Structure 1
Amino acid sequence: MRWLVLYTALLIGANAGFGPAFAGEIDWQAARDGGLAKLAPTDPTPVPATGFTDPEGGTHSLADWRGKVVLLNFWATWCAPCREEMPSLDALQAEMGGEDFEVLAIAAGHNPPPAVRKFLDEEGITHLPVHLDPRQQLAREMGVMGMPVTVLIDRDGNEIARLIGGADWSSEAAKELVRQATAP
């Protein structure tokens, strides 16, 4: 009888809506139910070391963000769902970006810097720096076949989830996802 009471208490506690059972654990189903329906957790997979650039000619790699949780978004100026989604990525960066978390948006493919700047200005994007993958080398290595694609990367530089298509990244479900991913 004692075991039944203990088991029942554990079961109720685990399902009481308090989020994940352990710090740093992500409640994927709650994220999907909360509006990120296409979010798919992946086995932790190291991200490639492939470089990308900025408009000033600087080179970067995802290793530059190691130690932070990164929401990596591949987008393009010609992509209608990207235009719809970009303001929510900007809002998420404005609210939650910092030492532990960053939204990293990379324009993949033929996106000349003036076209990128025009796109960002038209959409009022002010919190996302411009990064470019003009030959889609990083995008290809990460299996990106269309846009937008957003990849959640843990502090150790591993892809842990992917969402193909657009999403509202300023939603409470997205913010809770970030809180869970950055929890100690």
Structure 2
Amino acid sequence: MPYALALLAALASLVGCAPLASTVAGRLPATGLGEPAPPLALTDVRTGEPLDLAAFEGRAVLLNAWATWCAPCRAEMPALDSLQRERPDRLAVVFVSDEPPELLRAWLADQPTAGVYAHASLEEFVGPYAAVRGARPVSFVIDASGVLRERIVGAETAGVFRQRLDALP
């Protein structure tokens, strides 16, 4: 019986992440792509300080919507971490979650990851970035001049992200 409950819990966590990523991606409006990235009210999870995407001007930004409960999100993190370590002067990986900052800080205490971890309310994030409520991970590629170039629904590999970043103007 405990095995069946564990299996059911694992399957339920996958359902909440990026269900049928290609189907979900097809329903997302392309509004905003090719335009300046919308402002986003973020709070740095580690410091509690306000964080503005403009602080990363001159570097590409990979904005990643994730959650501690999302298995594909956690599986994708090493790829994003390696990209941040490879390109510290050219890239800012910003992980954004709507979970309580205290929970995020506790989770981060055990994670040796690079990148910036930020909190934003779901309402703040869903509107400007046309993210799908509950679909995670979702990543947004913003070029060094602040233009929103791409939306990626679902977990990807370091190679795919690297290819997308290398294609930026």
After TM superposition, the score normalised by the length of structure 1 is: 0.65
**Equivalent residues in 2 for 1:1-184, closer than 5 Å:** 43-55=33-45, 56-98=47-89, 100-107=90-97, 109=98, 111-122=99-110, 124-145=111-132, 146-168=135-157, 170-171=158-159, 173-181=160-168
CA distance in structure 2 between the aligned counterparts of 1:157 and 1:50, rounded to whole angstroms: 12
Task: Verify the 8 A CA contact 2:92 2:116 in the aligned structure 1.
Answer: no
Q: 1:87 aligns to what SS in structure 2?
A: helix
| Structure 2: runs of 5 or more not aligned | 1-20
- Residue type matched to 2:107 in 1? F
After TM superposition, the score normalised by the length of structure 2 is: 0.70
Aligned-residue offset at 1:103: 1.2
Structure 1 stretches (4+) deviating beyond 4 angstroms?
37-40
Task: Verify the 8 A CA contact 1:90 1:125 in the aligned structure 2.
Answer: no
Q: How many residues align?
A: 139
Task: Verify the 8 A CA contact 1:67 1:156 in the aligned structure 2.
Answer: yes
Aligned-residue offset at 1:64: 1.7
Q: CA RMSD in A?
A: 2.5
Aligned-residue offset at 1:177: 3.1
Residue identity (%): 31
